[in-house]
Amino acid sequence: MTPAAEASANTADFDAIIIGAGMSGLYQLLRLRELGLSVRVLEAGTEVGGTWYWNRYPGARFDSESYSYGYSFSKELLVEWSWSEHFSPQPETLRYLNHVADRFDLRRDIEFGARVKTAAWDEAARRWTVTLENGRRLTGRFLITAIGALSAPTLPRIPGRESFRGESHHTAEWPKEEVRFEGKRVAVIGTGASGVQTIQEVAKTAGHLTVFQRTPNWCAPLHNDKIGEAEMQAIRARYDEIFARCAETFACFLHTPDPRKTFEVSDAEREAVFEKLYAERGFGIWVGNFSDILTDKRANAAISDFVARKIRARVKDPAVAEKLIPKNHGFGTRRVPLETRYYEVYNQPNVELVDLTETPIERITETGIRTSARDHAFDMIIYATGFDALTGAFDRIDIRGSGGRSLKQHWSGGAATFLGFQSAGFPNLLMLLGPHTALGNIPRSIEYCVDWVTGLIGFMQARGLSRAEAPVTSVEDWMRTVRESSAGLLANEVSSWFTGVNTNVEGKGSRILARYSGSAPAFRQRADEVAAQGYRELDLG
């Protein structure tokens, strides 16, 4: 056979190729099957689960209430599944997603260990050609990315990292085999949501734990608890109400802002509201607080001062407490890690906090970490150093649209999308949780986005259309909305993945308009309008 004939004989063809078998990919597969499409899901891991497959670090769990996080599309699934905790631990969530895959017989269309290397649009054939790392090729009319918004882990750019001779793990690439900490000298670098969950768990058994903190975050109590069978029955009976509430709140959480402003109430009342929120489960203190805490500096200072007082009360050594209190950003302007006795960890004799603003890391050595002050010896280094968020997973695939245009290059100054679903110049590339989609309580957004994409494909199928592309004008229009909806947010003035900053990635050192920060209901209203008007803001052909 000629090389070309051989390539085509080895190429499997589908109506749709989905990249990723996490929460988005699984549900998208199910919905496209309902349309009668031939679908292949390509999954880099060896199991379903996505985020919950990769992030198996100790202490990993939801920060959204379990019963607001699961899929809502199937009454039967809701009836048969029991959550054992208000905030499900990772092993249970992974079991849940495996259960979903089995229950809906999804595995037969999923190829595991299939990491996508390239994807190229062929205008003449109106198809995407996808190449896997193992060299196999597949083609599909539609290419649907279900690759997650926080799925490209990044390691710190610290000299000598490769030279360390002990164990080292990134939280998002945690081994499947059990990792034990007893008697070990363990380092954790990073104090974001993953770092906080890891630290509070590792501190329980490690011989000695050293936390390397560059920027402290404002953390608030999770207040997790077990769910008994009777309570689960009561939750089941309320599912309609729970999902209806998620559908109307700003970010699809069960919590919604107090309509009052911080200084509309007396000092005593304000303190009482803060106390109540601090004592309640979940993200209420962040997204269910007074309506102006994320936009008004004085209001933000009030809640920041309240949480700072809590930290001082919980950490015995006043010098350590001060190090744990953020000084360069206010409460809620970065993702608030939810914690369980996190601050008390620093009262333990086996735990030490190293403030990298005072003594920066100079290098990683064969035996540990060298700061400007001294050498620390370790058996294990845990990198809780986060992700190349929002666009990183896209950048790691060589995606080429019309005329060979590279998506990575196209987005090099910041991504530009139409509702997060499409980017101009990339026909039939449909993104689930693409940049500038509403995120929030992510599964709620996933279900909406999958249904929207399914609606578009169904619409095209019914009319014999085979090509969809967002024109530049539609992208510009949506980006204007994204810009307007982010105006006035204090978070804009702070570096974090919210503003597209990751100092470990070349070219991602400065703040950009990285995400849509308007409300989820407004996002859905806009996307529903597009569908109701026959997708005329897309070029269909």
- Positions touching ligand NA7 (CB under 6 A) are 150, 156, 158, 171, 189-195, 214-215, 335, 356, 384-387, 497, 503-504
Closest-CA residue to 145 (of 13, 16, 284, 305): 16
Nearest distance in Å: CB 213, ligand NA7? 7
Taking the C-alpha atoms of residue 481 and residue 431, their distance in angstroms, rounded to an integer, is 19
356 vs 540, beta carbon nearer ligand NA7 = 356
Kindly tell me which of 128 and 387 has the beta carbon lying closer to ligand NA7: 387
- Which residue's C-beta sits nearest to ligand NA7? 192
DSSP class of residue 171 equals G
Residue (332 or 425) nearer to ligand NA7, CB: 332
Q: How far is the CB of 195 from ligand NA7 (least distance, A)?
A: 5
Is the CB of 148 or the CB of 425 nearer to ligand NA7? 148
Q: In the structure encoding, which two tokens stand for residue 274, read together? A: 């803060």
SS3 labels along 434-499? CCCCCCCCHHHHHHHHHHHHHHHHHHHHHCCCCCEECCHHHHHHHHHHHHHHHCCCHHHHCCCHHH
Please state the closest distance from residue 275 (CB atom) to ligand NA7, in A: 26
Most distant CA pair in the chain, distance? 82
Q: Buried (b) or exposed (e) across 276-306, using 16+ Cβ within 10 A?
A: ebbeebbbbbbbbbbbbbbebeebbebbbeb
CB 26 within 8 A of CB 148: no
End-to-end CA, the chain = 35
Tell whether the torsion through CA atoms of 369, 374, 379 and 383 is positive or negative. Answer: negative
3-class DSSP state of 116? strand
**Euclidean distance between CA atoms 433 and 419, whole angstroms:** 10
CB 188, min distance to ligand NA7, A? 9
Q: Closest CB to ligand NA7 among 49 and 195? A: 195
DSSP helix/strand/coil, 430: strand
How many residues are recorded in the chain? Answer: 541
- Dihedral sign from CA coordinates of 168, 172, 175, 180: positive
Residue type, 536: R
- Do residues 145 and 372 touch, judged by C-beta distance below 8 A? no
Q: Are 89 and 60 in contact (CB under 8 A)?
A: yes
Cβ 375 to ligand NA7, closest distance in Å? Answer: 17
* 539 alpha carbon, distance to own chain's centre: 30
Smallest distance from the beta carbon of 183 to ligand NA7, in angstroms?
26
Nearer of residues 137 and 214 to ligand NA7, judged by Cβ: 214
- Minimum CB–partner distance for residue 383 and ligand NA7 (Å): 8
Nearer Cβ to ligand NA7, position 97 or 189? Answer: 189
Nearer to ligand NA7 by Cβ, of 262 and 441: the residue is 441
Cβ–Cβ < 8 Å for 405, 119 = no
Residues 6+ apart with CB under 8 A from 461: 35, 37
Q: Locate 247 and state its tokens.
A: 């559908």
Q: How far is the C-alpha of 311 from the C-alpha of 319, rounded, in Å?
A: 12
Q: Which is nearer to ligand NA7, 25 or 190 (CB)?
A: 190
Separation of CA 493 from chain center? 21
What is the CB neighbour count within 10 angstroms for residue 262?
Answer: 21
> What are the tokens at 115?
């990491």
210 sits in which H/E element: strand 208-213
Least distance CB 349 / ligand NA7 (angstroms): 24
Question: 347: which 2 tokens?
Answer: 């009262």
Alpha-carbon span 476 to 188, nearest angstrom: 42
Q: How far is the CB of 38 from ligand NA7 (least distance, A)?
A: 34
In the complex with ligand NA7, which residue's Cβ is closer, 139 or 499? 499
Q: How far is residue 279's CA from residue 277's CA, in Å, rounded to a whole number? A: 5
| CB closer to ligand NA7 out of 386 and 518 | 386
Complex with ligand NA7: residue 215 or 417, whichever CB lies closer: 215
Q: Based on CB atoms, which residue is closest to ligand NA7, 301 or 356?
A: 356
Q: How far is the CB of 328 from ligand NA7 (least distance, A)?
A: 9
Shortest Cβ 150–ligand NA7 spacing (Å): 4
H-assigned helices in 213-334? 229-237, 239-248, 267-279, 284-287, 297-314, 318-324
| Closest to ligand NA7 by CB, 57 or 121 | 57
Q: How far is the CB of 264 from ligand NA7 (least distance, A)?
A: 30
Q: Which two tokens stand for residue 48?
A: 């379903």
CB 167 → ligand NA7: shortest distance, Å? 19
Q: How far is the CB of 288 from ligand NA7 (least distance, A)?
A: 18
Q: Check if the beta carbon of residue 537 is closer than 8 Å to that of residue 451.
A: no
